[in-house]
Amino acid sequence: MKKLTFSIVAVFFSFLVSGQSLQVEIEGNATFDNSLFTISEAGNDFPASIKSKAAIYISIVNYNYLDKKNNKNNKWNIEINKADLIWDDNLKLEAKRKGKGHNSGKMGHSNIQGGSNFQVITNNGIEFFKGKGEIENIPIKLKLSGFSVTMGAKDFETNIVFTVYDKW
């Protein structure tokens, strides 16, 4: 009986990235705990892709009091890319926004657009989604595909970078 173990480590650092007075805050750690596959017989398949068990939460906050008071609906967009540490070119990592989060300190729906479908994350930045004002706890899910028994049992690691830009 062959056993394929596939272990993936996705490292996420809580960090701040500043774009003028707007900042991105990231909470959470996405792991692929369901990445252990047992292949008991030739010809048996394992899933084509796996999704992260927990979500990463992104918040767009403005710590500049004057700017926050004068420009409550500041427009921004989030760009996403990855920085590989140990990676195989056959692996495909994708991200999707799973919700709209909530407005910071006020009632009503958050104004956010895009990112509701899985997008491939590459080493070059792409626009992920955009919005207006401060929004907290926007849930992000990850999906991994492209793995194969020919890769062998290895650990792969990459960093995901979120960058905020003000204006559309």
pLDDT tens figures, 79-108: 999 998 888 888 899 999 999 888 876 666
CA pair distance 151, 142, nearest whole angstrom: 21
Count how many domains the chain has.
1
Q: Which domain holds residue 36?
A: 2-166
Supply the pTM of this predicted model.
0.75
Beta carbons of 159 and 11 less than 8 angstroms apart: yes
pLDDT tens figures, 59-68: 988 776 666 6
CA pair distance 168, 140, nearest whole angstrom: 21
Bridge partners (DSSP) of residue 18 are 23
Distances (CA, A) of 84 to 11, 16, 63, 88, 157: 10, 20, 31, 9, 7
